[in-house]
Structure 1
């Protein structure tokens, strides 16, 4: 009986671990945002930064939105990759980002902007 109880506790622990702290399997903590100074100067002298938004979740996610910290750019950013949307910034046009996949874009400004995940949706059943 004690062995069955231990197995039940272990199974419950593993289940909770998979769900995460907010009851969801994929949350904003599953999105990694890294900004890299490329060392390149854009026209006008602004520094070019490369942003990598990576889905660390084992599920595909969509409608990934970031807080942009006052984002601005002096160079073109493909709106299919990153655009202002409803008070945040939509990544990949809201389309799915596969598990462990990344979306990368570049912008230019005199300083980098701290970008943090705001929201996402799990794409389908996972």
Structure 2
């Protein structure tokens, strides 16, 4: 199977999985599975030589969500991260976007630098109003 075919199948599987998880219509609540956290190596290096990573926290819920929190997986960085985008709140838990709403299919991104990436997982969220 070619690389292009594998990528296409991966994308199709992703959209199929998202369609199964998006359950916020008719008053049902979206859960942490509605939040996608991706970490990508930017290929850049920080001043100290650490690799720069970009994290994208995306809302796959058909509703706006707020107070999105993620487990940081031992998060550390050698560069400053904008506290309004990603802020430690309690014992390895981080608040995304200062708790402000993230619209459906929108993402919040930030960068950090370290010698390896950190696996971050959604912990909690609140669905905005009725959708």
Mapped partners of 2:59, 2:52: distance in 1: 23
* Pair 92,42 (structure 1): closer, same or farther in 2 beyond 3 Å: same
Could you say what secondary structure the match of 2:104 adopts? coil
Deviation at 1:19, TM superposition (A): 5.6
Unaligned runs of 5+ in 2: 1-21
Counterpart residue number, 1:5: none
Could you say what secondary structure the match of 1:93 adopts? helix
Give the superposed CA RMSD.
Answer: 1.7
Of 89, 103, 118, the match for 1:98? 103
Is the CA contact (8 Å cut-off) linking 2:24 and 2:62 kept in structure 1?
Answer: no
Could you say what secondary structure the match of 1:18 adopts? coil
* Pair 83,107 (structure 1): closer, same or farther in 2 beyond 3 Å: same
Is the CA contact (8 Å cut-off) linking 2:23 and 2:61 kept in structure 1?
Answer: no
Counterpart residue number, 2:120: 115
* Pair 43,100 (structure 1): closer, same or farther in 2 beyond 3 Å: same
> What TM-score, normalized by structure 2, do the two folds share?
0.78
- Tell me the matched-pair count: 108
Deviation at 1:48, TM superposition (A): 0.1
* Pair 59,110 (structure 1): closer, same or farther in 2 beyond 3 Å: same
Of 49, 54, 79, the match for 2:53? 49
Of 83, 88, 100, the match for 1:84? 88
> What TM-score, normalized by structure 1, do the two folds share?
0.81
